[in-house]
Structure 1
Amino acid sequence: MNKLLHILTRFGTLVILALLCIGFSIATWDDYHPDRPQDARKLARQIAAESPDAHVLIVVPKGKDNQEFAEQLEQTLAATKVQVLGTVQGGAVDARNKLVELGESNTRVDYVATHYFAAQIWRPLRPEGFDPLKAQYPSLAQTAVWYPSSYKWPVFLRRENVLTVLNLISVTAIVAIGMTLVIITAGIDLSVGSLIALAMVTAAWVFRYFGEGGEPTLFGLRVGSLTAIGLCALLGLVNGGLVTGFGLPAFIVTLGMMSIARGLAYKISGGSEPIDFNSELFHRLAMGRNLLGIPNPVTLTAILYLTAHFVMTRTTLGRFIYAIGGNAEAARLSGVPVKRVLLLVYAVCGAMCALGGLIYASKHDDGQPNLALGDELQIIAAVVVGGTSLAGGEGKVMGTLVGALILAVISNGMLLLKVDTFSQMIVFGLLILGAAIIDRLKLRSWKVN
C-alpha cells in the first residue's frame, strides 16, 4: 500500500495528464485536411513527379495561412520544370474568372493545385462547376484538381492545437513558478493577477513615454520592460517584508496587495481604458516563433522551468526553501536565513508576474488594467494540482508544469468538445477540490506511518 502511494505521489499527475490526452484524442478523432506549408511542398513534389512539364494554376482562399501555403507551393514548383501559370488568392468567383481567362487564351492547364476547402467547397472546382468549363474550353479538358490527401487524426493532437495549448498556458505556467516557491514555504500570494495587470500597464505607459505616435523606441522597450519587472519584484518584496517583519499571515498581506496593485494599474491607465502602443519588435515576444516553429512564450517557459528545477534540486537556496516550508523555526535554528529567503521568494514571484504581464502586453499591444482578473485562482490550482502541498515543505517545480498542462488540456479538450463555459467552471472547481483532498489524505497517511 505504501509503495503504491509512493508511486502515485511521484507519477500520479503524469498518469492523469496521459489519460486526459488519450481520452480527448479518442473523443476528437476526425478527418484531417492538411493545409500547412509542408503539405504544400509534398503536393508540389507529387505533381512534379507525375508530370514534370505540367502547367499548374495555384488557387487558395484569402488569409495568411493560405498565402503561406500558396507561396510554398509556388516556390517548390519553381525549383522543378513545372510551369506555374499564376496564383489566385481570393474566392470561388476569382478562381472561375482565372480559369475562364486561361481557357479563352487557349492556355493549357494540367493541374489546379489547391487544398481541401477550395477543392470541396468552391463550385468552380467541383465537377458540377468545372465540367461545363472543360466542355467549353479545350485547353481545360484534361485539367485535374489536386490537393493534399485527407486522413484520420485527432483534432486534439494536431500540431497547431498542441502549440496553441502550450502558448495559452505559458503565462499561467510562468507565474506558477513563483507561486510554487511561495507555497512550498507554507505561504500564499493572492496578488499575482493584479501584479500581472500592473506590469502590463506600467510597461505600456513607459513605452508610450519613450515613443513617438504610440511606437516605442528600442530604449523605451528596454526601460519599460525592466521597470515593470522591477516594480513587481519590489511589491513582491513588500509582501515578503510584511510577512516576515510583522508576522502577518501571507493570505492577508497578499489580499491587500491584490487591491493595491489593481488600483495602481487603474491609476496609471487613467481608468479602465487600455494604454495602446505599436511595436512589431515587442509583438514578437508573444507572437513570434523560433527556428523550430515553437512560439516564443513556450520557449521562455521551458527555459524558466529548467532553471527553477535546477535551483530547487541542486542548490543551497532550494534546500533552504524546502526547509522553511517544513518547519520555519527549526530551519532558523539550523542557520537558515529564513527572512532573507522569504523576501527573495516573494520578490521572485513578483518578477514572474511581470514576465507574464509583458507577454500579455506583447500579445495585445496594450496595457489593460482589468486583465488577469481571477488568474490567481488558476495559478494556485496549477500548483496544487501539480502536487505541491498547501501545508508547505513539499512540491516540485516540474509537478507544477504538469499541473498547468492538466488545466490547459482539460480546458482545450472541453472547448473542442463544445462544452459550455459554466460546465467548465464546475469541472475546474471539482479538480481543485480533488487535488486539495488528495493532498490532505497524503499528509494524514504519512502521519499514520
Structure 2
Amino acid sequence: MAFKPPSVLLERWKAAELLPVTLLSVLVYTLLIPAQFNVTISSIYLSPFRIFLIASTGVLIVRAAQGRIQFALPDLFIILAAAWIWIASYMTSGSMLTSAVQGGAHTVDMAVAYFLARTSIQSPRDFRIFLILIAPGIAFTSAIVVAESITHTRILQPLASALTGVPNTLRDEVRLGLMRGAASFPHPILAGIFLASFLPLYLMAGLRGWPKYVGIGASLGGIFTMSSAALLGLIVGGFLRAYDWLSTKILNFSWQVFLFFAGLAYAIVELTSNTGFFGLLVRYASLNTVSAYNRVLIWEYGTDNIARNPWFGIGYGDWDRPSWMHSDSFDHFWLIMALRFGLPEAILLICATLIAIIMVALRSRNMAPGDAQLMRGMAISLAVLALGVNSVSLWLSALVWFFVLLGIAVTLGQYSPNRR
C-alpha cells in the first residue's frame, strides 16, 4: 500500500469533516427557492427542501449509527411531537391517508430537519463554517427584500412564475411608504423573522471579515419586510447582544440579574394588565392596529377552541370564531400547533425549545471566551425566534429553519472540547 504523507491525510480528514456542514448549508439554500418550484404529486406537497430532506434520510441514519448523536431530552420530545401529529391527524380525520400525509410532511419538516442539523454541526467551528457558507444566500435574499420594498415591485416570485407558470400569490401591501418585501417566502412576515434570527448569530459567532458584515447587513434587511415581528426580533436581538457585552465589562450586569428582572416585569404585567403580556405586546409593538387587534382575537377565540379540543385539536378544519372574523389566518405558532394537533404537541415543542436554550446557555459557562460568546448568541437567537412566533405562524421554509436552529442549539449545548 502506498504511503500517504500526513498532509494528504489531514486534507482528506478536513474534506470529510466539511461534508456534513456543506450538506446542511445546501438545505438552507433550498429553503430560499421560491414556492413556484414546488410540485404536488397526488395529495403530497413536495418542495425542493422536502425533496432534499427526504433524500438526506439515508445519510442521517448512517450518521446516527456512527454515534454522531449523543442523546438529549429534546431529541425525545421532537420524536414524540412528530409521532403525536400522526396520531392526532388520524383522530381528527379518521383517515390513515390523511394521517400519513400530514404526519409525514411534519415529520420531514420538523424531525428530519432537526436531526440533520444535530448530525451536521458538531462543534462551534462547524457552526462558524456553516454561517460562512450560507452568508451569500442570506445576503441575496435580503437584497431582494430591500429592492422589492423600495421599488414597490415584486422581483423573484414573478420571475419564478414566468418560468414555471405557477402564479404569484403575494399581496402588494404597503406600510409607512414601503412595500413589504418577501423575496422567495410565501409571506413577508416569514422572510422578516427568518432574516432577523441571524443578527445575534453573526454578531456573536466570532467571525471576521466579509462573512460577519455580510451576515449582519443581511439580517437588517428584515426591516424592509415591514413586519412588527421582524422589527421586534431585531431590536430585542440587538439589545440582548449589547447587554451581553455589558455583562463582560460590568460585574453587576450578569445574566442572572437580567433574567430575574425580566421575569419580575413579566409577572407584574400579567397581574396588572387586563390583556396580559401577550395582549400588551401585540397592541403596542405592532405596525398595523388592525392586525394587532386581530391577534388579540386569535388568542381569545383560539384558546376557546383548544379548551374544547385539548388532546387532538381540530386538524386543518376551520376554527370557531365570530362570523365577522372573515380571515382564517392564525398568527401564533405555538397556539396553532395546539389547535391543529392538541395541547400535547405544543407542550412537547415548547419544552424542547426551552431545554435547548438552557443547555446552550449553561454550556457557555465552561467555554473559552470566543466559543462562549457564540453559545450565548445561539441562545439569544433561538429565544428571540421562539418569542417572535407568538405573533407568527411558521410554515414551509421558515418552519424548517426553526427546527434546524433548534437542532444546532442542542448539539452545541452538548459540546465538549475533549469529546470533540
TM-score, normalised with respect to structure 2:
0.30
TM-score, normalised with respect to structure 1:
0.28
Query: Which structure has the bigger radius of gyration?
Result: 1
